[in-house]
């Protein structure tokens, strides 16, 4: 993805990987950035908790620039990540990125929460909320298309960036009669990815048949990079919940998914 990018890697429900954030650009940096492979610290001075957070479990993490990173990406930043688990199993990821440059320079970056959903059978999964939207197809040199059909289903490799997406997206698992509801703020785009069989076999850290039981749907900001001046801060949030699905005989009751908060 263009410019610089932050990615959060999480595999619900509910497992968060050790590679939390990808942060990269087109230069000599790692493909998915250096932040995901850095050691994060527990934030000793986290932002205040909301008044209704007493029933939630939270951990605040922080990542700051190091002199080693400045050599390959000449900017200073502070990244605060709050991971919140609600009593019903809802997962909320809240990010705050601040430009701490002292030389007056702005920086630009793209961002995505790299969430992998465990599904029963990818051929029985559909994604709703992205139909009729424009997308960039990474398998066709990021050529722009418009999504057709009533929902997104999967029969082959997919790697798309949907643009100007709604704040709610639903991932329906027909076999398990379960729907993941993804809510997001500050992240206008959404990435949908599944490597399918050939690419899965070529990936060293991916099982040959794992593509059958996963789907990556990422809340993202990709098309228009975020630009921060020194002292400015950006915030983004993603919440994931699982609800019983009314998807039966190919039907989803959208009122039960998209109007529930």
Please name the helix (run of DSSP H) or strand (run of DSSP E) that holds residue 126, with its range, or none: strand 125-128
The region, left, alpha or beta by phi > 0 then psi within -120 to 50, assigned to residue 27 is beta
**187 within 8 A of 219, measured Cβ to Cβ:** yes
**78 within 8 A of 203, measured Cβ to Cβ:** no
**The one catalytic residue among 32, 65, 75, 114:** 114
* Known catalytic residue at 218: yes
Strands 107-118, 5-10: pairing is: parallel
Sorted by sequence, the CB contacts under 8 Å of residue 39 that are 6+ apart come out as: none
Paired tokens of 86: 């609600």
* Known catalytic residue at 114: yes
Tokens 């595999």 belong to which residue?
A: 11
**The one catalytic residue among 22, 128, 218, 239:** 218
SS3 215: strand
For CA atoms 3, 94, 185, 14, the dihedral sign is: positive
Active site residues: 114, 218
């Amino acid at each position: 993805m263009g410019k610089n990018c932050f990615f959060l890697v999480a595999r619900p429900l509910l497992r968060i990987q050790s590679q939390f954030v990808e942060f990269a650009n087109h230069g000599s940096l790692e493909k998915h950035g250096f932040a995901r492979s850095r050691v994060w610290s527990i934030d000793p001075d986290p932002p205040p908790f909301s008044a209704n957070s007493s029933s939630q479990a939270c951990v605040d993490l922080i990542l700051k620039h190091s002199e080693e990173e400045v050599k390959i990406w000449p900017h200073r930043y502070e990244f605060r990540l709050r991971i919140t688990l609600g009593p019903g199993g809802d997962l909320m990821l809240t990010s705050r990125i601040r430009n701490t440059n002292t030389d007056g320079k702005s920086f630009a970056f793209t961002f995505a929460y790299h969430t992998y959903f465990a599904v029963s059978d990818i051929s029985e999964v559909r994604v709703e909320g992205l139909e009729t939207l424009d997308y960039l197809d990474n398998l066709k040199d990021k050529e722009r298309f418009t999504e057709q059909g009533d929902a997104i289903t999967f029969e082959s490799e997919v790697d798309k960036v949907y643009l100007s997406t709604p704040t709610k997206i639903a991932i329906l698992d027909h076999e398990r009669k379960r729907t993941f509801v993804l809510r997001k703020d500050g992240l206008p785009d959404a990435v949908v990815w599944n490597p399918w069989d050939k690419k899965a076999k070529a990936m060293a850290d991916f099982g040959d048949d794992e593509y059958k039981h996963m789907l990556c749907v990422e809340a993202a900001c990709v098309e228009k990079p975020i630009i921060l001046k020194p002292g400015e801060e950006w915030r983004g949030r993603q919440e994931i919940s699982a609800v019983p699905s009314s998807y039966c005989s190919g039907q989803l009751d959208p009122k039960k998914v998209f109007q529930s908060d």
